[in-house]
Structure 1
Amino acid sequence: MKYGSLILEKKEYVYLKRILNVSGYAGDFEVQNSLQKLSEELREAQIVDHENMPSDIIRFNSKATLIFENGLEKTLQLVTPTDRDVSKNKISILAPMGAALIGYAEGDTLIWDFPGGRHHLKIAQVNQEEITEVLNLII
């Protein structure tokens, strides 16, 4: 990991903890495992103020270009559960891929258990989109 641990913006961290508590890790076995792993990673995460947030961290509304171990490249946007839209490559933070990506940085590689098995991913690029709507939910 580029920064040694996950990095989350303070208000997004609070929101994420809330939705994880409300979700009760609902879903199938793989979803439950992904959310449990995310909860464990959050214990060691660096929580920073908005103005100190590195621009290369995957956070709410970030677009991340991923390279899978088979060479497939895909760009996904990490969103709140209500904004998910798979047809537009918008994935929920509560989906296994969303849980895997939050808090990681451009250049990081990670190994995660997905419904289709264990995958190695490299985060090739991170672009930030507007996040005010998420922050407004929290305030």
Structure 2
Amino acid sequence: MRDHPIVISEPDARVLRGLLSARATRGHDQEHLEELSLELERAQVLKPEQVAADVVTMHKPLRILDLSNGSRQELTLVGPADANVSARRISVLAPLGTALLGYREGDEVEWLMPGGVRRIRIESVQSAHVGAH
């Protein structure tokens, strides 16, 4: 769990609460979903216009740098139904999506992958696409 609460927009909080309640009875990824639920409970939920431009939220394109191999990747966090790896749309419920949510441009993030801990830096966060929510 993070040292400080994440910042999340009200629309993202609503989406996440809905996704978590819909998956509450399923066994798949239960530990990961419980961790996300705890993060959401302690999150600072703000109106979209109050969320700083450099905070990672759903539907905001961002660029990350993998600190272990130097590769860069552009991606956008979306709901599971809109996820498409080839289009670089990552589910907010995927471990990487959950790890990035609420962090800011310049932050370094660690998350556990099947092959071990990975470290990335958020290089840039862009404005959300119009009509994304």
Unaligned runs of 5+ in 2: none
Shift, 1:132, TM fit:
2.9
Q: Counterpart in 2 of 1:75?
A: 74
| CA root-mean-square deviation | 1.9
Q: Counterpart in 2 of 1:137?
A: none
Deviates more, 1:47-56 or 1:17-26: 17-26
Shift, 1:131, TM fit:
5.5
Look up the SS of the partner of 2:34 in the other structure: helix
Whole-Å separation in 2 of the counterparts to 1:19 and 1:133: 17
Percent identity of paired positions between Structure 1 and Structure 2:
31
Higher helix share: 1
Whole-Å separation in 2 of the counterparts to 1:116 and 1:26: 25
Look up the SS of the partner of 2:57 in the other structure: coil
Whole-Å separation in 2 of the counterparts to 1:131 and 1:20: 26
Shift, 1:55, TM fit:
0.8
Look up the SS of the partner of 2:118 in the other structure: strand
Shift, 1:133, TM fit:
4.2
**CA separation of 1:27/1:85 partners in 2, compared to 1, >3 Å: closer, same or farther?**
farther
Higher relative contact order (CA 8 A, sep 6+): 1
Shift, 1:105, TM fit:
1.0
Shift, 1:48, TM fit:
0.6
